[in-house]
Amino acid sequence: MMYDSEDHSLFLTPRVCYFSAAKGGASRHMMVNGSSQRMAIKIKCSNNEIFRVSPVYCLLEPGGSQRLQIVRDPGEAKTDKIVLLYRYTTHSNPREAFHEKENDDSSF
């Protein structure tokens, strides 16, 4: 997993994970909202046949945290991407926050 080096309000630890194509594997990460606003998060993947992420959508209150689990099944070795999209919201459902057109997504 690769990441950009820009400063964001969403913190992810660890920021990198590696998997064996032959064996697959799992990786646990912690997402933390470093802002003063409620944040909706959506996780996208370029290959949903090999990768599973949990949760796909979540809300993080200011200073709140959420565990992220990434599972890779055995399969062909290739470059795949997992992207965390986040936006500030007042919604109580994170899916609703991503159906609004007026907000810009930030990605990690």
pLDDT, one tens digit per residue, over 62-107 is 999 999 999 999 999 988 889 999 999 999 999 999 987 655 566 5
pTM exceeds 0.95: no
Structural domains in the chain?
10-91 (2.60.40.10)
Q: 26, 69 in Cβ contact below 8 A? A: yes
Distances (CA, A) of 44 to 23, 31, 36, 63, 93: 22, 15, 24, 23, 17
